[in-house]
Amino acid sequence: MKKLFSLFLCGILMLTILPLTSCKKEDSLVLNVYNWEDYIACDEEVYDMVAEFESWYKATYGKTVKVNYSTFGTNENMYNELKLTQKKDGTYSYDLVCPSEYMIQKMILEGMCEKFDHSKMVNYNNNLAPYIENLFEENGWYDYATCYNWGTMGFTYNPEKVAYDDVSSWSVVTNPKYKYKFSIKDSVRDSYVLALGYINREKLLALDPNSENYNKEVGSLLNDFSDQTIENARVFLSEVRQNLYGFEVDSGKQDMATGKLWINFAWSGDAVYAMDIAEEEGTYLEYVVPVEGSNLFFDGWVMPKGANKELAQIFLEFMYREDNAIENLDYICYSSPMVGEDVFTYVCSSYGLTTLIPCNEETEYQDANGNYYEEVYICNDPNFQENLVQNGDLLAYRLTYLDNDGNIACEETEIFTHSVKHFFGDKIEGDGIIYTDSLNRQLVAMYPTPETMNRCVVMEHVETQTLKKLNNMWDSVKVGYMKYSTMLIIIIAAVALIALVIVLILLKKKGKTLRLRKKNIGKLVNSERIK
C-alpha cells in the first residue's frame, strides 16, 4: 500500500514539474551568430552590443535570449565550418553569419541562404543608404543579405615618408624607394586585385571615367580570371614579394602606427583605425585609392538554411537602429550602410574639423585661468561665419585650441569641403557638406567621392575550378617567401646541423669500433693466459 501511495505521489509531482520545464524551454531562446573577429561593438566598459541586445530583448518580449557569438578569420574558414556542421536535412547550426561580397554570391548560388522578410526589417529599410540599396537590388542580393559594412581598398601611408604621387598608383609596390617598408594582404582575392590593378594599369587609365560603362569596364579588367591573367598575376606578385616587409591580415594597422611600415595595402576601415591610433601618438597617416581602380567590398548578414529567422531579424533590427549603428561605427571604424541625421551628426563631430567654444559646465578642456571649453564641430560654433576666412581659392578657419601652457590660442587652418550627399541621399537635409583639414584622411576614407566609388568594383564569385587555380597561384607566390638574409641564415644553420649529425654518427661508429677492438684484444689476452 505504501509503494502504491509513493508511486501516486511521484506521478502528481511529475505532473506539476512538466509544465514548469516546458515553460522554461519556451521562454529561453538561443541565437547562434558567426561574425568576423573584432567586428562588433564589444567594449564592456562602454557598450557591448550582444549584452545590450539580450537585456533589450528580455525587457521588450519578457523572454530570455542567449546569443552564442563566435568569430572566424576568413570567408573560407566560415564557409568550411558551415559545411562541416551541416545537418542531414541540409540545414546549418548558425542563425546569422557575416560573409563578404563574393562569398555571399557563392552561398546564394548554392542555395544556402534563407530569404529575409523585409516587412520586418523596418530600421534597415528606413536607414539604408540609397547607394547600397541600389547595389543590392541590381545584383539580386537584396532578398538574401543585408549590408553590414562596406568600404574600398587602397593604401594607408605616411605622408612624411611617402610621396602622394607615388602611392596614388598600384606601381608604388615596385618602387625601390619603399623596399621592405610596405606590406600587402595575406589574402589571394584581395592581393589579386592589387596585381590586376598594376598589370592592367595602362588599360585602366585609358578608360573614359565619364562613360556610362566605365564602372563595368573597370570590373571586367579587375575580375579577369583567365589562365594567362592568373599566370601574369603570379609572376608579378612573386617579384613584389622580394620587396615586401611581409604579408599580413591584421598587424598592418599597428605597424603603420608605430612607423615600422610606411605603406600598407589596407581595407578603408583598417586605414581609419590606423589613422586614429597613430594620431594619438602624434603621427598623421593618410589613405588613398589608386587612380587605376580598386575593389569596393562589403560584408553582409545572411541567414543559413534552418535559421531562426524571426529571432535573427530581430537581432539585426536592433543593430540597425541609428544609435546602435553609430556604436558599431565608432568601435570598428568601418563605414556603415545606415544613414540619417544622427549618423551625419556623428560623422561631422568625429571626422569633421572641430574647435573649442566657452562652456559653463565642467569638461576635459580647462584653460590656465580655470575656464571650461567644449569641443564642437566648426559649423556648431556660434561665430562660424566670422571665423571663416576666404582668400581667393584658399578657404581657412580660425581654430581655437589650448596651447601647451593651458592658454586659449587661435590658429588659421586651411580647410576643405567634402560632401557625403551622394551616399546619404535624401536621408539628410541640405547639401551634406562636411568641413575637414584633409581630403586624404578618415572622413574621405569612410565616404569616398563619387569619382572614387565609380572606379571601384565588387569582387565576383568564381567557380570551384577557377578558385583552385587562384589558390595554386597564391601558394606558388607564398612558397619560399623569406628575406634573403633570413634564408641564408636558415641554410647555414641547416648545413651546420647536417654536418653535426654526420660527425656524431661517425664518432658513434668510431666509438663502437674502438670498444670492439678492446673487447677482441681482451679475448686474445685471456686465451693466451689459458694456454
Cell numbers for 41, please give them.
Answer: 561593438
Q: Kindly report, residue by residue over 426-440, the tens digit of the pLDDT.
A: 999 999 999 999 999
Q: Determine phi and psi for 225, rounding to 5 degrees.
A: -120, 30
Residue 62: which region, alpha, beta or left (left: phi > 0; alpha: psi -120 to 50)?
left
Q: How far is the C-alpha of 352 from the C-alpha of 343, rounded, in Å?
A: 13
The pLDDT value given to residue 390? 86
- Mean pLDDT, range 469-494, rounded to an integer: 74
409, 401 contact by CB (below 8 A): yes
The pLDDT value given to residue 530? 47
Q: How confident is the model at residue 44 (pLDDT cuts 50, 70, 90)?
A: confident
- Mean pLDDT, range 493-501, rounded to an integer: 81
Least-confidence region, from 13-22, 247-256, 480-489: 13-22
Closest CA to 248 of 231, 232, 235, 263: 263
The pLDDT value given to residue 272? 96
pLDDT mean across residues, the chain: 90
The pLDDT value given to residue 102? 94
The pLDDT value given to residue 2? 41
Closest CA to 455 of 298, 293, 295: 293
In percent, the amount of the chain with pLDDT more than 90 equals 82
The pLDDT value given to residue 497? 84
CA end-to-end distance (rounded Å), the chain: 102
Q: How confident is the model at residue 495 (pLDDT cuts 50, 70, 90)?
A: confident
Least-confidence region, from 166-175, 181-190, 364-373, 494-503: 494-503
Cell numbers for 491, please give them.
Answer: 641554410
Which residue type, as a one-letter code, is found at position 501?
A: V
394, 437 contact by CB (below 8 A): no
3 has a pLDDT exceeding 90: no
369 has a pLDDT exceeding 80: yes
Q: Kindly report, residue by residue over 329-346, the tens digit of the pLDDT.
A: 999 999 999 999 999 999
The pLDDT value given to residue 225? 97
SS3 259: coil
Least-confidence region, from 102-106, 355-359, 473-477, 488-492: 488-492
Q: Kindly report, residue by residue over 283-331, the tens digit of the pLDDT.
A: 999 999 999 999 999 999 999 999 999 999 999 999 999 999 999 999 9
7 has a pLDDT exceeding 50: no
4 has a pLDDT exceeding 90: no
The pLDDT value given to residue 479? 85
Q: How far is the C-alpha of 355 from the C-alpha of 357, rounded, in Å?
A: 7
| Strand runs labelled E in 52-110 | 64-72, 96-97
DSSP states of 452-517 = HHHTEEPPPP--HHHHHHHHHHHHHHHTT---HHHHHHHHHHHHHHHHHHHHHHHHHHHHHHHHHH
Q: How confident is the model at residue 531 (pLDDT cuts 50, 70, 90)?
A: very low
